[in-house]
């Protein structure tokens, strides 16, 4: 039996995200991603303006007048949500933690997928892959995915993006749309990401908090790494310390930007301050323009 409070929380997420899907994102998801190819539909008489390359010469010879082949797009897609549940997600200085934002935006993507009759699968990872739900269709399946995201309790604190992508590449041999959701506080995942980018339509979704970018000047503070437990004493009034911190953040960001650029991987940038709906809609609109 699923506890009543769990069902209520899932229902709240469903109502909120489906409303967004039905209004703000209507049609955007469907236009953003191509199907698997073109499937033959029927033949019909040739009319002025039709592409002569689509003429079916066998039918034309049999009927004595030109006929063309019609095709429809094979729309069905597989969407994989690969979600970072490490301890660094338990941080947020505005309204919600990074992990909470991840759950809501994944719910939004999942409902967008089933509205278009696509399959949805889930991988939750920390320093190890802790949950794998194979892709399936249907509302009940998506509600199961959301329940898992909402009430998942990680066994580990760390992050290993590379290991998660290697697992994805093993279990998902069919080309899929993959949303990799993380704050990307990790290293040594360049090679698996390159492999995933070749096999799949990979989209990274980076979630950050403004306090990770700019530290308030409040004097000496003890900072603890949520994943390793390591602590340091940091003087937020020291210009030198702040500059070192900024340089390290900028260098990590530049390294990720270069990796995504060189692999052709798209990125959706989300912060706990601005929310996730507008960035996702903007991404879909950009993808739609490129598909034309």
Q: Is residue 202 domain-shared with residue 254, that is, in the same domain? A: yes
Q: Is residue 164 domain-shared with residue 212, that is, in the same domain? A: yes
pLDDT at 237 > cutoff 90 = no
- Bridge partners of 268? 205
Whichever domain contains 94, its CATH number is 3.40.50.410
pLDDT at 68 > cutoff 70 = yes
Q: Is residue 18 domain-shared with residue 110, that is, in the same domain? A: yes
Work out the average pLDDT over 124-147. 94
Q: Is residue 67 domain-shared with residue 161, that is, in the same domain? A: no
| Angle in degrees, CA 12, 28, 264, rounded to 5 | 110
Work out the average pLDDT over 84-110. 88
Q: Domain total for the chain?
A: 2
Share of the chain above pLDDT 90, in %: 40
DSSP-derived secondary structure for 54-91? GB-HHHHHHHSS-EEEEEEEE---EEEEEEE-SGGGS-
Q: What is the pLDDT of residue 210?
A: 86
Q: Is residue 45 domain-shared with residue 88, that is, in the same domain? A: no
- Bridge partners of 99? none
Q: Is residue 147 domain-shared with residue 47, that is, in the same domain? A: no
Of residues 154 and 69, which shows the higher confidence score? 154
Q: Is residue 209 domain-shared with residue 185, that is, in the same domain? A: yes
State pLDDT tens for residues 242-261. Answer: 888 888 888 999 999 999 99
Q: What is the pLDDT of residue 167?
A: 97
Q: What is the pLDDT of residue 18?
A: 75
Structural domain boundaries, residue 267: 4-29+75-291
pLDDT at 102 > cutoff 60 = yes
Work out the average pLDDT over 129-151. 93
Work out the average pLDDT over 161-181. 95
Q: Is residue 57 domain-shared with residue 170, that is, in the same domain? A: no
Q: What is the pLDDT of residue 225?
A: 74
Q: Is residue 69 domain-shared with residue 79, that is, in the same domain? A: no
- How many other C-beta atoms can be found within 10 angstroms of the C-beta atom of residue 181? 28
Work out the average pLDDT over 48-53. 79
């Amino acid at each position: 039996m699923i506890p009543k409070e769990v069902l209520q929380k899932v229902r709240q997420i469903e109502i909120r995200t489906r409303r967004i899907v039905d209004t703000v994102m209507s049609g955007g998801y469907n236009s953003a991603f191509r199907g698997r190819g073109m499937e033959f539909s029927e033949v019909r008489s040739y009319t002025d303006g039709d592409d002569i390359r689509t003429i079916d010469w066998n039918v034309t010879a049999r009927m004595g007048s030109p006929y063309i082949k019609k095709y429809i797009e094979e729309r069905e897609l597989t969407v994989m949500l690969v979600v970072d549940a490490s301890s660094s997600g338990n941080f947020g200085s505005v309204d919600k933690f990074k992990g909470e934002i991840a759950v809501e935006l994944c719910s939004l993507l999942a409902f967008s997928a089933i509205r278009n009759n696509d399959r949805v699968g889930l991988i939750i990872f920390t320093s190890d892959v802790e949950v794998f739900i194979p892709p399936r269709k249907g509302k009940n399946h998506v509600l199961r995915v959301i329940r898992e995201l909402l009430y998942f309790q990680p066994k580990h604190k760390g992050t290993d993006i590379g290991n998660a992508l290697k697992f994805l590449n093993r279990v998902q041999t069919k080309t899929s749309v993959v949303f990799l959701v993380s704050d990307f506080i990790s290293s040594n995942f360049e090679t698996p990401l390159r492999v995933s980018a070749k096999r799949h339509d990979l989209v990274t979704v980076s979630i950050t908090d403004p306090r990770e970018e700019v530290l308030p000047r409040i004097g000496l503070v003890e900072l603890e790494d949520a994943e390793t437990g390591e602590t340091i004493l940091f003087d937020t009034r020291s210009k030198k310390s702040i500059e070192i911190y900024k340089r390290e953040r900028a260098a990590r960001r530049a390294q990720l930007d270069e990796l995504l650029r060189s692999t052709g991987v798209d990125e959706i940038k989300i912060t706990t301050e601005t929310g996730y709906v507008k960035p996702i809609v903007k991404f879909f609109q950009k993808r739609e323009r490129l598909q034309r």
